[in-house]
Amino acid sequence: MGLMTFLRNRAGFILVGAIGFAIVAFLVGDAINVGKPFWAASQKVVGTVDGEEINIDEFGTKVDQNLQQFKQQYGGSANPQMTAMAVDNAWNGELATILLAKEYKRLGLDISSEELFDLYQGKKPSPLIVQYFGNPQTGEVNRAAVIGSLKQQATNPQLKQQWDMLQAEIEKQALQQKYSNLIKNSVYVTSLEASDEYTNRNKLANFDYISLDYASIPDASVKPSDSDYSDYYNDNKKKFDNPSETRSFEYVSFSVSPTAADSAAVKSQIAKLATDFKASKSDSLFSAINSDVKVPYAYITKGKLDPKIDSTVFALPAGSFYGPVFTGNSYKLIKVIDTRMSPDSVRASHILLDPTKMGGVDKAEKFADSLKTLVQKGADFAALAKMYSIDGSKDKGGELGSFTRGQMVPEFENAAFNGQAGDLKVIHSQFGVHLIKIEKQMGSSKVAKLAYIEKNLVPSSKTKDQAYKKASSFLNSVKGDNFAAEAKKAGYTLAVADRITGSQGYAPGLDNPRQLIRDAFGASKGDVLTEVYQMDNAFVVAHLTDIKPKGVLPLESVKKDIEPMVINAVKAKMLTEKMSQAGGSLAQAAQKLGKTVTPVQNIVFSNPIVPGAAQENKLIGTVFGSSVGKLSKPVNGERAVYLFTVNGFTNPAPIGNTYKLKESMLQTVSQKALGAAFQALQDKSDIKDNRVKFY
C-alpha cells in the first residue's frame, strides 16, 4: 500500500523525468546507437582540421602504406623511429589534402574535362599515366593501351575501381601543380635585390678589433634581476613560439645487460653446440634450427660476414670447421661446405608461368620445357615472354637486367650462377615455374657455401627478473616530489628527456619509448608514470617534469632555459660600460684594457664568421654599416663585447649577368614560398592532433 501511495504522489515527477530522458535519448540516439556510448565515435578520431575528422581506419591504412615504403627504402624491419616517420608522413598528407582542397575551392581552382583528357591521352600526360602506360626506355605513352583500359572498365568492376583511384590521384597532382605554379608566379626578385645579394656575397671588409669575453666574468658573480629576464624575453619573443605541445620527463633506467653468470652459461651452451654441430649429418637443418641469425644455406661472396671473421673463413678449404669465436655480441660457429669460383654478376631473362592456372607444377614445367625447345630451335625468347609470362618484365621481353648474389630467390640464383652464358633452364620457385635464359656472366671471384650458427649473448630470465624487481621497488617508493632525491639516495643515474613531442619515435637514451611517451601525454605535470616500461635492454621508471603547450610560451615556462643567455646579457652591460670608459683610439683602448688588437681580412657579409672566434652576425652587420677609420661603439656579440675600426672595403666588379642571378634567387624564394604558404594555411586553421592516443 505504501508503495502505491508513493507512486501516486510521485507520478508527476516520474513522468516529467521519463519525458526528459526520452528527449535526451532522442537527441543522442544516433550517437548511442544500440548500446554504444556516444563518445565511441571520438575514439576513432586521430585528429580534426577545422572540424573535419580524420578517422583511424583510413589513417591507419595510409600509415601502413608509408611504413611499407620506408621498409623498402631503408631495408630491415619497422622500428619506432621508422613508424614515427610513417605516422608523420601520413599526418602531413592528410593536412595537405584537407587544407589544400579548401584552398582550391576558395581560389576557384579545378580541372576541366579537356584538361583531364589531355592528362590521359594528350601531349603532356600525367606522370602517373607515364608510369603505368609508358615505355621504360623511351617514356612514350601507349595511348592505345590507355584507351583500351578505359573501355574495359565498363565491364570490369575491379578495373573501374582502380581507374577511379587513379583518376582521383591524377586530379590531385594536377591541382597541386596548379597551386604550386600560382604561388611561384606570385613571387619575384627585383634587380635591386639581386644587386644586394651579389654585393653581400662579394664585397670584402678589413677591420681590426678587440674583445672582452663573457667567460672573463664568472657566472656565479652575476645575479640577473626580474627585469633582466623580462627584457631578454620581450626582445626574443619569437624564439619561444612552441609549434606543438611538448612534454619533458626524467627517468631511471635499470639495465638488463648479461651478467658474468649469463656469459658463462652461454659459453657452456655454445661449446656443447659446437660438438653437436661438428657431428651433425644435416648441416643446413641443424644451423637453421639453432642459429639466432638466419643465413641462407647458399653460396655467398666475401664481405658478407662479420669483418673480424670474414677473411679467415674465406681462406679455409671446404670441410673446415671454424669457431666458436666471439665477435660483436654473439658467438659464431661455421662449417665450410664448399668453395668455388663464381661469376660476380649475371644478366638474365625469364618467362614466369603460374602453375595454378595451368593445372599444377608438372604441367607448367612441361609447358616451360616446350618453350625451351622452341627457343633452342630459333624462336624469339622476348616474343614468347610477352605472350606467356605473367611477370612485369614481360613487356621488356623478360629482361631482368644484371644482378649479384643475394638479390634473387635461392632456386633462381643457383640456376643463374651455376650455369653458363646461353643456357636455358627450367626451375620452380615460390613465384611459379621459370624458363631462365642466362644472357651473360660478368667477373669471377671465390664464393663459399656455409652452414652458419650465431648465438647472441643475452641476459637470462633471472637477470631480467632482478632488474624488473629493482624497477618495481623504485616505482613503489617514489612520488612526484621526491623522484630525483630517491634516485640519488639509491645511487641510480637520473636521465632527462626534454621537450618530447607526441608523435616522436625516439627519446634520449631510450630505444623503444613510444608507450612511455603516450602515457606521458596522458599524465599531469609532476606525475610519476604508473608503469615499469620495458626497453630493449632496460626497464624504465619515469616522472613527468614539465608540459609546454602549443603557442608562445610564458616567461616562467622558459626562465630556466634562457638563464645562460640572460646572464650573458648582464655581462654584456658590465663589459660594455668597461669598454666605453677606455676611450681614445682602438690601440689606446686595447692598451687600457690589456688586450691585443686582432686584424681581420676579407670578410663578406653573407658569411659572418670571425676567424678564431665564432659566428658573430651582429658584429659583422655593424662592420658593413660603419665608416672607414672611425672607432665603433661597443657591440654585444654572441660570445663577447667587441670594439672595432674598419680599415677599408673592397667592392666587387660589376655584376656580369643579373638575369641569371635573379633566376637562381627566384628558385630559392619560390621553394620557400610554397612551404610558407602551406604553413600559413596550418596557422590559420583549427587543427587538433590526437595521434598520441593511437601510436
Residue 683 reports pLDDT greater than 70: yes
DSSP state string for 310-349? HHHHHTSPTT-EEEEEEETTEEEEEEEEEEEEE-SEEEEE
DSSP state of 581: T
Q: Give, in degrees to the nearest 5, the angle at Cα 528 between 525 and 531.
A: 130
Q: pLDDT value at position 361?
A: 92
- Backbone φ and ψ for 406, nearest 5 degrees, come out as 95, -10
CA atoms within 13 A on the CB side of 391: 22
The SS3 of residue 159 is helix
* Integer CA distances (angstroms), 186 to 182, 194, 528, 660, 694, in order: 6, 17, 52, 19, 40
* 252: amino acid identity, one letter: V
The topology under which CATH files domain 246-257+460-549 is Chitinase A; domain 3 (3.10.50)
Q: Does residue 33 have a pLDDT over 80?
A: no
Of the listed ranges 132-146, 164-178, 249-263, 425-439, the least confidently predicted one is 132-146
Integer Cα distance of 336 and 449 in angstroms: 6
* Selection from 560, 564, 561 nearest residue 572 by Cα: 564
Q: What is the tens place of the pLDDT at every residue in 586-610?
A: 999 999 999 999 999 999 999 999 9
Q: Average pLDDT, whole number, for the chain?
A: 88
Residue 276 pLDDT > 80: yes
Secondary structure element (H or E) that encloses residue 518, with its range:
helix 514-520
Closest alpha carbon to 65 in 169, 159, 153? 169
Tell me which H or E stretch contains 546: strand 538-548
3-state SS of 416-433 is HHHCCCCCEEEEEECCEE
Q: Alpha helices, DSSP H only, in 134-259?
A: 143-152, 157-184, 191-202, 226-235
Confidence check: pLDDT of 416 > 50: yes
Q: 41 CB contacts (<8 Å, ≥6 apart)?
A: 31
Cα 249 → chain centroid = 23
Report whether 185 contacts 677 (CB < 8 A).
no
CB atoms within 10 A of CB 172: 17
Two domains, one topology: 246-257+460-549 and 345-442: yes
Q: What is the distance between the alpha carbons of residues 226 and 295, in angstroms, rounded to a whole number?
A: 65
Q: Is 336:319 a contact under the CB 8 Å cutoff?
A: yes
Confidence of residue 22 (pLDDT cuts 50, 70, 90): very low
- Average pLDDT for 689-693: 90
C-alpha 536: how far from chain center: 20
Query: Chain centroid to CA 318: how far?
Result: 44
Which residue from 116, 132, 92 is spatially nearest to 170, judged by alpha carbons?
116
Contact (CB, 8 A) for 149 and 139? no
**197: nearest Cα among 206, 189, 207, 185:** 189
Please give the backbone phi and psi of residue 436, each rounded to the nearest 5 degrees, phi first.
Answer: -105, 135
CATH code for residues 345-442: 3.10.50.40
Note the pLDDT of residue 5.
34
Please answer whether residues 456 and 329 qualify as being in contact, where contact means their C-beta atoms are separated by less than 8 angstroms.
Answer: yes
Confidence of residue 149 (pLDDT cuts 50, 70, 90): confident
Q: 662 pLDDT band (50/70/90 cuts)? A: very high
Q: Concatenate the DSSP letters of all residues of 242-271 into one string.
A: ESS-EEEEEEEEEE----HHHHHHHHHHHH
Average pLDDT on 471-480 reads 93
Stated as kind and residue range, the H or E segment containing 88 is helix 80-107
510-555 pLDDT tens trace: 988 999 999 999 999 999 999 999 998 899 999 999 999 999 999 9
What pLDDT is recorded for position 42? 65
314 conformational bin, left if phi > 0, alpha if psi -120 to 50, beta if neither: alpha
- Domain boundaries of the chain, sorted by first residue: 2-38, 113-184, 204-240+556-650, 246-257+460-549, 260-341, 345-442
Q: Which of 266, 308, 327, 292 is nearest to 457 (CA)?
A: 266
Which residue has 609546454 as its cell numbers?
548
Residue 322 · residue 411 · CB < 8 Å: no
Check if the beta carbon of residue 207 is closer than 8 Å to that of residue 680: no
* CB of 428 closer than 8 Å to CB of 436: no
Question: Which single residue is written with the C-alpha cell 596548379?
Answer: 178
What does the DSSP 8-state code read for residue 240?
Answer: G
